[in-house]
Amino acid sequence: MREVILIKYGELVLKGQNRRQFEERLLRNLRGRLAPLGAFGYSYAQSTLTVTPADDVDTGRAADYVGTVFGIVAYSRALCLPKEMDAVLAQAGDYLAGDLLGAQTFKVEGKRSDKRFPLGSPQIAADLGERLLAQYPHLTVDVHHPDVTVTVEVRDQYIFVHGKQHPGAGGLPAGSSGRAVLLISGGIDSPVAGWMMARRGVSLVGVHFASPPYTGPWAEKKVHTLLGRVAEYTGGSYLHTVHFTKVQEAIKKHCPDELGTVLTRRMMMRVAERIARTERAECLITGENLGQVASQTLPALASTDSVCTLPVFRPLIGMDKKEIIALARNIGTFDTSILPYEDCCTVFTPKHPRTRPKPDIIAAAEAKLDVAGLVEECVANARGQVILGESA
């Protein structure tokens, strides 16, 4: 029995003259993701990418990896057969046992893209449906709402038979939309924001701010784990860890307490943008959400944006916390995010932060700091590390 993985594209098919570039990026990402599992063959025909594992490859595990590759809207494991109906009738029932034994109803759909095949789609569906009813007498046919839809696809060279089609990660291939710096903490929001932008084709460079001794090594390890989980979808990221203690202590010592949060954010944005320039990134990404905390009011966000020349994207800006948590659970970051390790965003938090900071007051406070020197020191002392997902 020969098994393959059939991959369906999403919005890539709408890319017109640029479509080929997106397809090549997707194929490159897919090859990189599956390479650790063994050898695969790749072929493209009729808006479907067929991945053929070598005999010693775990096809189930490979299919799981395929499900996390951005740019794929759906995928299915399929039986690959010669273009003979007798072969379909002889082998399809056993191959589909895992789907059909636990079902009550089913239907068969025939798709005959090769019009030279002697049987039409209705006849293909009727013949296989009759054989499956004989093999699984507990089943009944339901053409409207079946538990399982069995699909028979007659292509130029082969016939593919498959049951359930699984949803893919969707979006655009990672790296097809450029590069961005993600300001990532150990919280719930920023990994989700990074995942959302990566799903739109952005490759991520992480920047994490650590404040030893106020934050410890476990806080940094937490961020590595979170970015690694996002890397399951992107194939990998590079993380810059910035020592931020001196900046926060200077703000605490020289500036009004109520401005501590917004001044800290402004310094973070300055450092992140400097790193973005060295990484040839085209934007910054944060996990900020409108009104969630004092630094996320409209005036506060405007104040932090004013120190940047690159665009700042906030994909969570209009979501509520329940929606963000649900997405964090879905992508596998939530349980790590809630581990009780301090991050620098909670260090020196003022009791009564100012929610509507005025530009002249901010300017007066920052005049007491060596802004350029502090930023330069942060960038110079940042530590870099490649973060890979399990399947990269």
Instruction: Answer yes or no: is 302 within a domain.
Output: yes
- One-letter identity of residue 375: V
Strand partners, 372: none
User: Which CATH number fits the domain that encloses residue 104?
Assistant: 3.30.2130.30
Q: Confirm if 117 and 154 have CB atoms less than 8 A apart.
A: yes
- Owning domain of residue 70: 2-167
Mean pLDDT for the stretch of residues 89-111 = 95
SS3 call for 194:
helix
Does 24 share its domain with 75?
yes
Question: What is the reported pLDDT for 351?
Answer: 72
The residue out of 167, 199, 230 marking a domain boundary is 167
- Dump pLDDT digits (tens) for 242-271: 999 999 999 999 999 889 889 999 999 999
Q: Does 356 lie in the same domain as 305?
A: yes
Residues 287 and 199 in one domain: yes
Of the candidates 284, 288, 168, 182, the residue with the CA atom closest to the CA atom of residue 231? 182
Q: Does a structural domain hold residue 145?
A: yes
Model pTM? 0.87
**Does residue 236 have a pLDDT over 90?**
no
Task: Tell me: cis bond preceding 213? Omega within 30 of 0 counts.
Answer: yes
pLDDT at position 392 over 60: no
Whether residues 7 and 32 share a domain: the answer is yes
Q: Is 113 helix (H, G, I), strand (E, B) or coil?
A: coil
The tally of domains found in the chain comes to: 2
Q: What are φ and ψ of residue 358, in 5° steps?
A: -95, 140
Question: Within this chain, do residues 208 and 345 fall inside the same structural domain, yes or no?
Answer: yes
Alpha carbon 74 to its chain's center: 15
Q: Say whether both 195 and 136 belong to one domain.
A: no
Residue 68 lies in a domain: yes
Q: Work out the angle between the directed axes of helices 260-278 and 245-254 (0-180°, nearest 10).
A: 150
In a domain, 272, yes or no: yes
Both 158 and 193 in one domain: the answer is no
117-137 pLDDT per residue, tens: 999 999 999 999 999 999 999
Tokens at 37, concatenated: 């599992």
145 and 202, same structural domain?
no
Q: Give the chain's mean pLDDT.
A: 91
Task: Report how far residue 287's alpha carbon sits from residue 194's, in angstroms, rounded to the nearest whole number.
Answer: 8
Q: Could you say which of 139, 167, 195 is where a domain stops?
A: 167
For residue 327, the model assigns a pLDDT of 96
Contact predicate 339/221, CB 8 Å: no
pLDDT tens for each residue of 5-44: 999 987 776 666 777 888 889 999 999 899 999 999 999 8
- Answer with the one of 104, 132, 167 that is the final residue of a domain: 167
390 pLDDT more than 60 = no
Q: Do 80 and 125 have their domain in common?
A: yes
Q: What's the residue count for the chain?
A: 392
Classify residue 172: in a domain, yes or no. no
Q: Are residues 76 and 148 in the same domain?
A: yes
- Asked if residue 174 is part of any domain, the answer here is no
Residue 33 belongs to a domain: yes
Going by pLDDT thresholds of 50, 70 and 90, the confidence category of residue 181 is very high
Model pLDDT, residue 132: 97
CATH code for position 265: 3.40.50.620
Helix segments in 158-282, DSSP class H: 189-198, 217-234, 245-254, 260-278
Q: Give the per-residue pLDDT at 14.
A: 67
Task: Answer yes or no: do 155 and 194 share one domain.
Answer: no
- Name residue 46's amino acid: Q
Q: Are residues 203 and 147 in the same domain?
A: no
